Amino acid sequence: MTKQKLIILSLLLFLPLMGWSQVIFEARIDTLVLLVGEQRELTLDVTCGAQQKLKMPDFMPMQPLAPEVEIVNLIGTDTTLLDEGKRMQVLQRYNITAWDSTFVLLPPFEVEVDGEKYHSKQLALKVLTIDIDTTSVDYDQYFPPKTIQNNPFSWDDWKPVIWFVVINQLLAIVLLWLYSRWRENKPLIRIIRRKLKLPPHQVAMTEIERIKSERNWTSEDSKEYYTQLTDTLRTYIKERFGFNATEMTSSEIIERLLQEQDEQALAELRQLFTTADLVKFAKWTTLTGENDANLVSAIEFINQTKVEVDPNQPTEIVEVPEEVKQSQQRSLTLKIVMGVIAAIAVVLIAYALYLTIDLIR
């Protein structure tokens, strides 16, 4: 009696341990009868230890399981842990179909657990055809399959797409132009005006009149006075005689003028340049009367060498100067305009793509 109790007690102790590693494999179909072309779900159900290595079948679409029965696709694989994570249940589901009326036995399915193979039971499947009452069918309503036909092409269908693309390209060009203007800080519109080109002697006399009107020149301002006066004469000589007097010294200007004027006509001009150089570079002090005399000498030189202007002198285009940098308001306006144009362009191209896809289908 004691020996039997020990055997029973041993079985009770080791049976749970044996149960944890027990492998249960089952294959089932949701129905055993289906019509030709119908799909049914095939489920492979495996229960084993959570730490065991399980290898399930790897069926491919269109793979035959038996004559006239094949795999359509894998629906999915689900894994569930059981007994506080000690065991797991794996469900692998496939869609299957059949293409001929028959009665077929599906062969056993196979899985591997820790390298050991396990097989399911065979499954029976009955495939039925659809009964058709040939006595009441109107065969005239059925037509043979038609041949492949070309889809007719019409430019009218594509006109909206083409117009949207053209408008989008124009908007892109405008956007790039605005962006370049914004980056270079240039105004959107250049203001151009035409005016009559003044002769050199009139420009020089206008400047000398300005210098003359400022009668409050003092001895301390003599340098500025002679600088403005000689600069005006240099500019006049450059425009009148055609050489760059603004980049030449006083002696170089006189030598160059001697090629066209005599020494006596340039005596007063030479004296003016000499005095100006002494004042600017040697801190020479002049009297008010001496300054007036040199101003008169400059006027006489201009009057003696001036050339009257042809009344038919053509006008030249002069651009009105603009600010170097655009204001913050202008910059903000440009950004808003560019943003609106970019948004419109994106909407147009998206709608054109939508129409194109709709026409291609």
Whether residue 323 is predicted with pLDDT greater than 60 in this model: the reply is no
Mean pLDDT within 51-74: 87
| Nearest-angstrom CA–CA distance, 97 and 66 | 11
- pLDDT of 137 over the 80 cut: no
Average pLDDT over residues 208-235: 78
Whether 290 and 264 map to the same domain: the answer is yes
Distance CA 323, CA 237 (A): 32
Instruction: Quickly state the pLDDT bin for 18 (edges 50, 70, 90).
Output: very low
Tell me what the mean pLDDT of segment 8-29 comes to: 64
Cα separation, 283 vs 325, in Å, equals 41
Q: Which residues of 318-355 are buried (b: 16+ CB within 10 A; e: fewer)?
A: eeeeeeeebeeebeeebeeebeebeeebeebbeebeee
- Residue 99 shares a structural domain with residue 38: yes
Domain range spanning residue 260? Answer: 200-305
Is 11 among the domain residues? no
Say yes or no: 74 and 161 in one domain.
no
Does one domain contain both 345 and 267? Answer: no
* CATH number of the domain encompassing residue 119: 2.60.40.4100
Q: Above 50 in pLDDT, residue 20? A: no
Q: State the pLDDT at residue 311.
A: 59
Higher pLDDT, 216 or 291: 291
If one counts the domains in the chain, the total is 3
DSSP 8-class letter at 104: E
Cα separation, 212 vs 8, in Å, equals 137
Higher pLDDT, 1 or 252: 252
How sure is the predictor about 324, in pLDDT bands with cuts at 50, 70 and 90?
Answer: very low
Report yes or no: 123 and 61 within 8 Å, Cβ to Cβ: no
Is residue 137, in this structure, part of any structural domain at all? no
The answer as to whether 166 is a domain residue is yes
Where residue 322 falls among pLDDT bands split at 50, 70, 90?
very low
pTM for the predicted model, two decimal places: 0.36
Greater confidence (45 vs 191) lies with: 45
Determine phi and psi for 80, rounding to 5 degrees. -130, 130
Using the predicted structure, report yes or no on whether residue 119 has a pLDDT greater than 70.
Answer: yes
Do 269 and 171 fall within a single domain? no
Residue 271 scores a pLDDT above 70: yes
Yes or no: say if 161 and 359 are a contact pair by the CB < 8 Å rule: yes
Mean pLDDT of 108-134: 84
Q: Is residue 26 part of a domain?
A: yes
Task: Note whether 296 and 332 are same-domain residues.
Answer: no
What is the predicted pLDDT for the residue at 349? 85
Query: Do residue 204 and residue 181 come from a single domain?
Result: no
In a domain, 232, yes or no: yes
Q: What is the pLDDT of residues 161-212, one digit of tens each?
A: 888 888 888 888 888 888 887 777 655 555 555 556 678 888 888 888 888 8
What local confidence, expressed as pLDDT, does residue 19 receive?
A: 44
Has residue 215 got a pLDDT over 70?
Answer: no
241 and 301, same domain (yes or no): yes
Q: What is the mean pLDDT of residues 15-37?
A: 74
352 sits in which H/E element: helix 328-360
Work out the mean pLDDT of the chain and round it to a whole number: 78
Question: What pLDDT score was predicted for residue 3?
Answer: 59
- Of the candidates 66, 59, 68, which has an alpha carbon nearest to the alpha carbon of residue 105? 66
Q: Has residue 133 got a pLDDT over 60?
A: yes
- Residue 213, SS3? helix
Q: State pLDDT tens for residues 255-264.
A: 888 888 777 7
Angle at 151 between CA 150 and CA 154, to 5 degrees: 130
Q: Which residues contact 69 (CB under 8 A, 6 or more apart)?
A: 96, 97, 98, 104, 106, 125, 127
Q: What is the mean pLDDT of residues 200-229?
A: 77
Which residue would you say has higher pLDDT here, 227 or 322?
Answer: 227
Q: Is residue 264 part of a domain?
A: yes
User: Which position has the higher pLDDT, 238 or 291?
Assistant: 238
